[in-house]
Amino acid sequence: MVVVGVAQDGTDAFVTELEHGDDPRLLAHDLGYAVVEPIDATRDASGTVRLRLRVQPASGDAPERPGRGHDAGLELDGSKEVERRQRVAAYALVTSQLGLLATEFSDKTSVPGRWGLPGGGIEDHEQPTEAVIREVCEETQQVITLGALVEVQTSHWVGRSPRNTIEDYHAVRLVYEAVCEQPTEPVVDDVGGTTESARWIGLDQWRTLAWTAGWQQILRERIAVA
C-alpha cells in the first residue's frame, strides 16, 4: 500500500510506502503531518492500493504507538516458521431502519464468538469500494449503498491464521459508511469461512454484543448512543 498525504491546498505533501506494521497516522506524524481525515482509497494501474489522507502540519505529541500483540497462549521458541503478511481489507459500517449490521467471527479465527463489521480482503482485480460491496453481500446477503471512507485502522500481531499457519500479521482496515435501503434477515453465503453469523442490532443496543477491541473503538467514535 502507498499512503499519499494531501495538503489543504490539494497538493501532495508526501507519497510513501506503508511498511509492514506501520500505521498511516504515525507514518504521517513521522513526516511532520497530522491526519485530518481519509479521502479515498483506489487501486492504480500497477495494482497498488493508494490511500489518500487529508493532512496538515503536525503539532503536539504523536499518536500512541500500540506495538505488536499476539494470540493468547501462543509460544514462539524459534522452531516455528512465521509468515509475514500485510492484508488490506475493506469494511462497511452499514445502517438501516433495523439498526447496525454486525457479523460474528467463526472458529476459523482467533476470536470466535466475537463481533465485527462486514467486509474482507480486497482481491487483486478489485477496487476497495467494489470489494466491500461484494463482501457485505457474501457475508450477509444485504445490498448496500456505499458512502465515504471514514476510518483507516491498523493492527499488528502474531497469531494463528485460518490456514493454521503462524503469521506476523499486519491488518489495514478501510472502513466506509453505508446504508441499506431494504434490509432483510441476514444470511451468510460464505459458509465455512471466517463469518459464523450476521444480524441487525439496534443503534442503542450495539454495546450488548462482544465486539473485538478494534471494532469497539471505531463504534464508540462513530455511533452516538441514544
End of a domain among 10, 25, 57? 57
Q: Give the residue from 108, 111, 72 showing the smallest Cα distance to 209.
A: 111
CB 92 within 8 A of CB 186: no
For residue 201, tell me if it sits in a domain: yes
For residue 68, tell me if it sits in a domain: no
Question: Which residues constitute the domain of residue 158?
Answer: 81-222
Say if residue 23 is in the same domain as residue 85: no
Residues 6 or more apart whose Cβ sits within 8 Å of residue 78: none
Report the SS3 class of residue 182.
coil
Residues 6 or more apart whose Cβ sits within 8 Å of residue 40: 51, 52, 149
Say if residue 38 is in the same domain as residue 87: no
CATH number at residue 131: 3.90.79.10
Say if residue 90 is in the same domain as residue 175: yes
Say if residue 150 is in the same domain as residue 214: yes
Compute the distance between CA of residue 139 and CA of residue 128 in angstroms, rounded to an integer.
Answer: 16
Amino acid type, 119? G
Place of cell 462513530: 222
Please name every residue paired with 211 in a beta bridge, in sequence order, or none if there are none.
Answer: 115
Q: Nine-digit cell at 166?
A: 503462524
For residue 181, tell me if it sits in a domain: yes
Question: 12: how many CB neighbours lie within 10 A of its CB?
Answer: 11
Say if residue 88 is in the same domain as residue 32: no
Per-residue pLDDT reduced to its tens digit, 132-163: 999 999 999 999 999 999 999 999 988 777 67
For residue 107, tell me if it sits in a domain: yes
Number of domains making up the chain? 2
Compute the distance between CA of residue 179 and CA of residue 144 in angstroms, rounded to an integer.
Answer: 6
Q: Give the alpha-carbon dihedral of 81, 116, 128, 95, to 10 degrees.
A: 180
Say if residue 20 is in the same domain as residue 130: no
Say if residue 50 is in the same domain as residue 87: no
Say if residue 87 is in the same domain as residue 51: no
Amino acid type, 150? V
For residue 72, tell me if it sits in a domain: no
Per-residue pLDDT tens digits of the chain, which is 226 residues long: 999 999 999 999 999 999 999 999 999 999 999 999 999 999 999 999 999 999 999 988 877 777 677 666 666 666 567 788 899 999 999 999 999 999 999 998 878 999 999 999 999 889 999 999 999 999 999 999 999 999 999 999 887 776 767 888 899 999 999 999 999 999 999 888 899 999 999 999 999 999 998 899 999 999 864 3
Compute the distance between CA of residue 208 and CA of residue 226 in angstroms, rounded to an integer.
Answer: 14
Q: How many helices (H) and strands (E) does the chain have?
A: 3, 12
For residue 70, tell me if it sits in a domain: no
For residue 65, tell me if it sits in a domain: no
Q: Give the residue from 226, 223, 14, 4 showing the smallest Cα distance to 101.
A: 223
Say if residue 97 is in the same domain as residue 163: yes
Say if residue 50 is in the same domain as residue 101: no
Say if residue 105 is in the same domain as residue 53: no
For residue 192, tell me if it sits in a domain: yes
Say if residue 92 is in the same domain as residue 135: yes
